[in-house]
Structure 1
Amino acid sequence: MSLLYTKQNHVCLKQVQAIKLNALEKIINHFSLSIKRIQHNRRTRQHLMTLNEYQLKDIGITKAEAYEELKKPLWK
């Protein structure tokens, strides 16, 4: 049995393609946001390591806590 190509089938095909494209856009957007979060974590953790004892105390953490933060995976 063959499928007849009709205007309705063409519309359905376009809708399916649009849904797939929308899903792909969501995946790419999620990936992009993940990369941005990783970059932010890396940058802020590196900055944290430049602070001296007084500055760390001022924000309420110790040097040991700063090192623990640095050891965390970038995606967390």
Structure 2
Amino acid sequence: MKKIFECANQYVRDSDWKDLALLKLCLCAMGIMIGLLIPKEKRKYPFLVAGIIFVATYIPLMVKFVKIAAKTFCPEKNS
């Protein structure tokens, strides 16, 4: 398992934002396809779980992005 994480870290280091955007679009498309396989009457629980996971992951990602953006656009305030 450690080797898999090493490979994943190296992939991210070797990638630019376009590669990561393509990866995210790919995963989004896969999620949509999986979601379409769930019967309509049973979609409430998976939708709720996906919403919770989205919020729980989006907030830390955006906090990190805002910190980086603040350092980039206002370097004098972050010294």
TM-score w.r.t. structure 1 length?
0.38
Q: Which has the larger radius of gyration?
A: 1
Which structure has more relative contact order (CA 8 Å, sep 6+)? It is 1
Greater helix share, 1 or 2? Answer: 2
TM-score w.r.t. structure 2 length?
0.37
